Amino acid sequence: MRRSARTLIVYVAACAVVGFIFISSPHGHGFTASLENARRLAGAAASNAGGGGSVSDVRSQALSFLTAVQNPDPSYKKENFPQHWDYTGKQGFNGGYMWYTETKLRELTACAVRNDCHPNAYKVVIFSGWYCHETFFRNFGAGEGTWCKSMKNSLDRQGYTVLLARDNPATASATTNRTNATPEYAYHIYRQIPDLVVGIIGDTHNGHGNIDRWFKSPERPDGIPAWKFFHFGFFGLRDTTVVGNKWIVSALPNWHKEKGEEAAWTWLGYDLPLIDAKEVVPFEERPHRVWILAKDLSYFYDLNDLLSWPLDFFERATQELRQKWPDFEFVGSFNDRRFIIQEHQKDQTKPKLKPREQPKGIVALGGGVGGEEGTLLSPAEFRRELSNSRVMLGIGRPTVSPSPYEAMMLGVPFINPYWPGPHDPNGTDHSSTWHWTQHTSLHFEKPPHVYNALRNSYESFIETITAAMETPCPPKRMEWVSEEAQDKRMREFMEFDWRSLAAGILEERLKGNETQLGKGPWLNGRHIPEKPGLFEL
């Protein structure tokens, strides 16, 4: 490494370390003095490194900076790094991301001094979204959690530097403790290493604690360039950001290509681990069981606009199909999210919720269904029970979950509810005209892996279940969920010239030519302007 680059890293690390004073009180007023102190210390090292000082001198200075600031919380031990980031306790949730990030900056400084950093280490991405924070510190297990872990693991495998910050989305809710965070820490980290940061993946710039307050502007020349911020949009929002469509990153494949329509967003996707062949139960050994895709009991009650099957279908179908298969049953594993919400409410004087009734005709696995003590199966238990089922049934929510892909790898097909829309109530048109499906990325797949069923139709409900009960489904793994495919997508994201693309968009915008309008006028429930705004490069 050239000495000038090494000097820069030493300088940056000193700012990061002394910046702990700011971190411990991110909304205080001592940051300016702390930063000036860091600059003074770093300047001495830079002078030494750039003025003929030896590599060992630079290394000694760097290490002295790294150990100069005492750990302000004795519960955090050095031996916990870097594994502590998955700590799920209160301290880890509220502050562990800072410790993780500062530790990674120290590691980056140390390898820079040793001149043995991975070639990709100087390319940094910051995760600042709520879902990723919940995933890394509370083991959030839904689709967004799968995506967060997959992106981070891929970047780690390839030697990129991943930093964590805490942010909150526009849908911030006091009941889920989202309003206590702002994008301020992501901005703080960015200012220390602006040239190294490739991108910040976080929640929308709209809403409480909006990140656009920290964007680069004439009033904030050291702000985050808007083209370095990417909206965490799991569902592939067909809208736009301040810069443009491609600055929404999605977990979903660009399935719109099947319709001759290019999806607007940037697809990052996720990978799923290989299934051990021993986990695949032979078709003829499986009971006549339908696994219901739903973790939250509210999917049966609170989402009647999306609930695809009236609740009486389950008991009715059980009675009918047991005449053919006496062991037939619907099974699932659920909890009741209402109790989680109530636990975080400030007003604890409200009457305690009563457990919901379990839908008739469904066998619950995991214990305590619908009640305060309800628990979900572990991932290993889930795969075991799923592999002993003949089909996975969608009920409307959760949409575009990764679970159907995992089911197919176990040789378990997925029943995908759809609604053709008012123009075709009987669903006779081609699937490309359908108004809605639960899993949009799968509705072009065919049996025996995916059965599309007309929602609210008992006839379609019975027909697709019967077909799945009688038709073997060979295990299938989508090519795009492989580790290699995921690494390729993340690598392309990190190596892409986002600034040049943004510059071209801005140039056209200044001419009055708008190229980046989204397909719809809404973004997370908020109306977007007719044209995205201007931004600083």
Q: Which of 476, 508, 529 is the last residue of a domain?
A: 476
| For residues 306-325, average pLDDT | 95
Please, what is the Cα angle at 480 between 477 and 484, to 5 degrees? 100
Tell me the pLDDT band of 317, cut-offs 50, 70 and 90: very high
- Distance separating alpha carbons of residues 261 and 428, to the nearest angstrom: 22
Mark whether 38 and 125 lie in a shared domain: no
Under the banding of pLDDT at 50, 70 and 90, the label for residue 443 is confident
Enter the tokens of residue 319: 């009675």
Residue 7 has, within 13 A of its CA and on its CB side, a CA count of: 16
Residues 328 and 401 in one domain: yes
Do the domain assignments include residue 329? yes
Distance between start and end Cα atoms, the chain = 28
Whether residues 282 and 391 share a domain: the answer is yes
Both 301 and 178 in one domain: the answer is no
Q: Is 99 domain-assigned? A: no
**Per the domain annotation, does 98 fall within a domain?**
no
Helix axes 97-114, 130-138, angle to 10 degrees: 90
What pLDDT band is residue 376 in, cutting at 50, 70 and 90?
confident
* Kind of pairing between the strands at 526-527 and 522-523: antiparallel
DSSP run (H or E) holding 387:
helix 379-387
Q: Are residues 466 and 334 in the same domain?
A: yes
Type of residue numbered 24: S
CATH number at residue 467: 3.40.50.2000
Higher per-residue confidence, 448 vs 335: 448
- Domain end point (choices 476, 506, 522): 476
Same domain, 428 and 414: yes
For 254-283, what is the mean pLDDT? Answer: 78
Residues 411, 294 share a domain? yes
pLDDT of residue 380 exceeding 50: yes
The answer to the question of residue 43 being in a domain is yes
CA distance 374 to 334: 7
108 lies in some domain: no
Task: Give the model's confidence band at 536: pLDDT under 50 very low, under 70 low, under 90 confident, else very high.
Answer: confident
Closest by CA position to 415, among listed 379, 445, 380:
445
Can you list the pairs that 59-67 forms with residues at least 24 positions away whose Cβ atoms lie under 8 Å?
59/113, 59/114, 61/10, 62/10, 62/13, 62/14, 62/109, 62/110, 62/112, 62/113, 63/110, 63/113, 65/10, 65/13, 65/14, 65/17, 65/18, 65/41, 65/109, 66/13, 66/17, 66/106, 66/109, 66/110
Question: Tokens at residue 513, please?
Answer: 């030519």
Q: Which of 71, 86, 101 corresponds to the end of one domain?
A: 86
Task: Write the DSSP assignment of 203-222 as a string of letters.
Answer: S-SSSTT-GGGGB--SS-TT
Q: Is the dihedral of CA 273, 409, 398, 204 positive or negative?
A: positive
Instruction: State whether 472 and 484 are in the same domain.
Output: no
- State the Cα torsion 236-237-240-241 to the nearest 10°: -80
Better-predicted residue by pLDDT, 202 or 43: 202
Q: How far is CA 263 from CA 238, 239, 327, 446, in A?
A: 7, 10, 44, 22
Taking a C-beta distance cutoff of 8 angstroms, is the pair 61, 45 a contact?
yes
Report how far residue 524's alpha carbon sits from residue 170's, in angstroms, rounded to the nearest whole number. 8
DSSP type of residue 93: I
Kindly state whether residues 347 and 398 are assigned to the same domain: yes
Tally the domains of the chain: 3
16 within domain boundaries: yes
Closest CA to 475 of 344, 361, 365, 387: 387
Percent of the chain, pLDDT > 90?
35
CA-CA distance, 117 to 487, in Å (whole number)? 19
For 293, the 3-state DSSP assignment is strand
Q: 155 and 125 in contact (C-beta within 8 Å)?
A: yes
**Domain residues for 456?**
277-476
Residue 150, domain member (yes or no): yes
Same domain membership, residue 422 and residue 281: yes
pLDDT score for 128: 86
The angle formed by the CA atoms of residues 333, 335 and 338, to the nearest 5 degrees, is: 160
What number is the average pLDDT over the span 137-159?
88
454 in the same domain as 533: no
Q: Are residues 55 and 198 in the same domain?
A: no
The segment with the largest mean pLDDT, out of 2-11, 376-385, 398-407, is: 398-407
Residue position matching structure tokens 């910050």: 165
Structure tokens at 504: 């071209």
Q: List the Cα angle 19/209/251 in 5-degree steps.
A: 95
CA-nearest of 334, 333, 343 to 298 is: 334
**CA pair distance 376, 142, nearest whole angstrom:** 12
How much is the average pLDDT of 426-442? 74
Whether the pLDDT of residue 112 is over 60: the answer is: yes
Inform me whether the pLDDT recorded for 305 exceeds 80: no
pLDDT value at residue 341: 53
